[in-house]
Amino acid sequence: MHSVVLGEEVQIAISLPFGYSASDASFPLLFGLDGDAMFGFETEVPRLLSFEGKVPPMIVAAVIYGNMQSWIQKRQRDYHPADGGADRYLKALKTEILPFLAAKVRVSDTRILYGHSSGGLFAVYAGLREPALFSHILATSPSLEEEPLWAADFLQMIEASRGALPAFYLSADASEGAVRDALTPVLSALEAKETRMTFQTLAEGSHMAVIPKSFTAGLLHFFVR
């Protein structure tokens, strides 16, 4: 699809759950960030969990930048605030990408935004700036420590919020002290608003090693009761 907001062609990968073609039902949407590196993982983990009935079958979608160099450059542009990049990407999500998906596949009202690291940073921002866009925010190791001024704005957004915020699952590895320290004021502000929010510290040893467990833990938290 062509994005007027981003001024470029946008490639969107979509994975449909088993049983989609045999049903007229709508399915939850998991929109994953960092699709170039993560789309296969973002697709297969919920698929396997759905086989056990832990999560519902879901549609998974992600923007694919096309190659490693473009991914590295454009994730910095789209997931961070410099030059209005994150605002443009969020506008593209709201006005172009999500409507495109809704026109192509049967998406229910359950919409999850998942991101790790800079993707997690953007996911938190999106959940606060456009709280009606996604019903659930799954942000693992969100790198608020990289954007301290922006993180301060998050507190103002939480304080100014009047309607319901999405459900948040936030996590960090025990080795990520700077991530947890930067996130603490946001956690306190969300708790003060009585937001549906869970924070979990995991112990997998590093920023990358924690990805599989934190993503799985977030999905299970949202759906297993």
Q: What is the pLDDT of residues 34-51, one digit of tens each?
A: 999 999 999 999 999 999
- Supply the pTM of this predicted model: 0.97
Q: Which residue has the tokens 């297993």?
A: 224
Task: Give phi and psi for 175, each to the nearest 5.
Answer: -80, -10
Residue 215: give the domain boundaries. Answer: 2-223
pLDDT band, residue 225 (cuts 50/70/90): low
Specify the pLDDT at position 210.
98
With CA atoms as reference, report the closest residue to 53 among 22, 18, 14: 18
Q: Return d(Cα 130, Cα 127) in angstroms, integer.
A: 6
Number of domains in the chain: 1
Q: Return d(Cα 51, Cα 179) in angstroms, integer.
A: 33
Residue 25, pLDDT > 90, answer yes
- Residue 46 near residue 216, CB atoms below 8 Å: no
Integer distance in angstroms from the first to the last C-alpha of the chain?
A: 38
Q: What is the pLDDT of residues 143-160, one digit of tens each?
A: 999 999 999 999 999 999
CATH code of the domain in which 108 resides: 3.40.50.1820
